[in-house]
Chains A and B, each alone.
Chain A
């Protein structure tokens, strides 16, 4: 499980379990991935995201026997297009990439429709496929952007820290408190906008880690980076986001 806390500050839980004593934790995880109790548990248990991804893949590739329930691909766009589009947009931020990923998801759904067990919802099944497609899209984006990207040089550290590693005077825009009137949705819009200003290699690693809750070694494998590079990117992303969000949203004066 990812450590859901910053030092000394517990993060709110991402879990919203329905306490059903008849369903074990392991069952909930699998059932959620397979979409059986979609709507009961609003998010897969984050105790082992690698297992989740494996289960998601299994839901695509290995579930058997072939379904008795007929799929209707033509209705998928109307039924699930918006849902998948929004989900992918929250991860990829780029409309072209999102469209491609959603299309690839549907096409894979058609191709592997016989492997849909019919036990869960189509939506959860398609989402399981799309999560894999999102990772593929990010990996491809990283591969093709590698030549042109400036992320290795894009490091705010020199702006924020002096030669001795101390905070530069006046360079820290987040020495403030959040505007309490800002809603979480407004904050998300600011964060999303700021993510868009990060180099893709930093933002994507950050999203995979924080939003998709992928493990460090899994991200390193998918992105073909070393753990040291992973931690560097994560730190630069946090610095960049803090600077961007802090300059847009925080008011003067240290909070409580």
Chain B
């Protein structure tokens, strides 16, 4: 004879599975004798019917089953989707592109190209290259190749061999060591960068009298921040009519060989790392007036992850926090992790990772900045 407890278990199970013949017979007897069990079966059936009905209503879009999405949630979601769609478009584009490089062929960058080539081909050690770059003054009218020969870093034949190397002229015309020569482009300090053609940019022109210009293409608008190594400027790319950020080496820092090395290294690493969460480098060059090296990159605004974290905690303390905001912070963190994982896969360690070095642009996109200490 079933107990009421066991009978209730079988009643429950009968809603989700077929009972055996023996179970059916037992429960039939029990239900016939016990009103409480019959009532339990009835209410269980009513509840199940209600849920089943609501499941149908939800599927068909019945508005009476639950509240509509709050307006604030809709606004957040719309913004989030807009951003996500934009990101996805970028990722799709990056995946489909064959990666053309937009870079300056200024004297300095041509020197960097030559340095990389010599390094790749074993004509220079990394230490020699940094020493040479630190000693070379791009605006002194001397090409990097000429400087290397003069300082006996390389023999003239080596330089001539590179200049006349088969295929070099096909890759880069009018960007050579001596102004008209060509160089194979590519090769990084770690030797992992594929050879790729460079687009040729016009040589530097003198700055306008009333507005400071860099390489004729960028007009500096205002200084955004200044660090020990360099300053960040908000600038206008006159050619493409877009706002960019320019990092220019400080004049004081330029006296230091280490600072030059760091600045070059930072530019090179930033250029090497092509990832949606790493700030893209548009151009590397030098100010024809001051000779200070600079590089142009995407302007991502001034808001950092540190700001977002502080804002969230302030809201949280005020009891006004939002789960989606926490989700966004965590998403930003994941973006940082993806960027760092990508950098590590390229053998680069950031070494100065902190919320202040993670920018969140106006659409919440996550960009890891400041690779100046990276190795």
Contact = CB atoms under 8 A, between A and B. Distances in A.
Interface string A32-72: 00000000001110000000000000000000000000000
**Most interface-central of B51, B63, B70 (chain A CB within 10 A):** B51
30 contacts: A6-B44, A6-B48, A7-B24, A9-B45, A11-B15, A42-B56, A43-B59, A73-B82, A73-B85, A78-B74, A86-B68, A87-B58, A87-B59, A91-B58, A99-B77, A106-B84, A107-B80, A110-B85, A111-B84, A165-B6, A167-B37, A172-B40, A175-B35, A191-B54, A210-B52, A231-B13, A235-B8, A242-B43, A245-B47, A254-B35
Interface in B141-157: none
Contact of A175 (B36, B45, B70): B36
B224 to A, nearest CB: 31
A74 B74 CA distance: 11
Nearest to A194: B47
B36 to A, nearest CB: 4
Interface stretch (A21-29, A145-153, A180-188): A180-188
B84 A73 contact: yes
B289 interface: no
A8 B68 CA distance: 38
A210 B51 contact: yes
Given A86-B67, A100-B327, 9 more contacts: A12-B52, A81-B69, A86-B61, A107-B80, A210-B15, A211-B52, A213-B55, A234-B12, A255-B42
Interface of A: 2-9, 11-12, 14, 16, 42-44, 73-74, 76-78, 81-83, 85-87, 89-91, 95-96, 99-100, 102-103, 106-107, 110-111, 113, 127, 157, 160-161, 164-167, 172, 174-176, 178, 184-185, 187-188, 191, 207, 209-213, 216, 231, 234-235, 238-239, 241-242, 245-246, 250, 254-255
Given A3-B14, A235-B8, A187 B46 contact: yes
A209 B59 contact: no
A85 B66 contact: yes
Contacts of A210: 15-16, 48, 51-52, 55
A4 B74 CA distance: 37
B56 A82 contact: no
A14 B39 CA distance: 23
B51 A8 contact: no
B239 interface: no
Contacts of B98: none
Contacts of B34: 167
A161 B8 CA distance: 10
A139 to B, nearest CB: 18
A6 B66 CA distance: 27
B11 interface: yes
Contacts of A102: 69, 77
A164 B67 CA distance: 45
Given A7-B11, A86-B67, A89-B66, A99 B73 contact: yes
A211 B40 contact: no
Task: Label chain B's interface by main secondary structure.
Answer: helix
B289 to A, nearest CB: 46
A200 B4 CA distance: 26
B77 A103 contact: yes
Interface of B: 3-6, 8-19, 24, 27-28, 31, 34-56, 58-70, 73-74, 77-78, 80-82, 84-85, 88, 323-324, 327
A162 B36 CA distance: 14
A51 B147 CA distance: 73
A27 B10 CA distance: 35
A226 B10 CA distance: 18
B65 A188 contact: yes
Contacts of B56: 14, 16, 42-43
Given A42-B60, A188-B53, A191-B51, A166 B40 contact: no
A241 B12 CA distance: 12
Nearest to A171: B36
A191 B370 CA distance: 55
A239 B81 contact: no
Given A6-B41, A188-B50, A81 B64 contact: no
B53 A184 contact: yes
A76 B35 contact: no
A74 B82 contact: yes
Contacts of B42: 9, 174, 255
Nearest to A108: B84
Nearest to A86: B66
B84 A86 contact: no
Contact of B39 (A110, A172, A231): A172
B50 A209 contact: no
Contacts of A100: 323-324, 327
Contacts of B81: 73-74, 76-77, 106-107, 110
Contact of A110 (B6, B41, B47, B88): B88
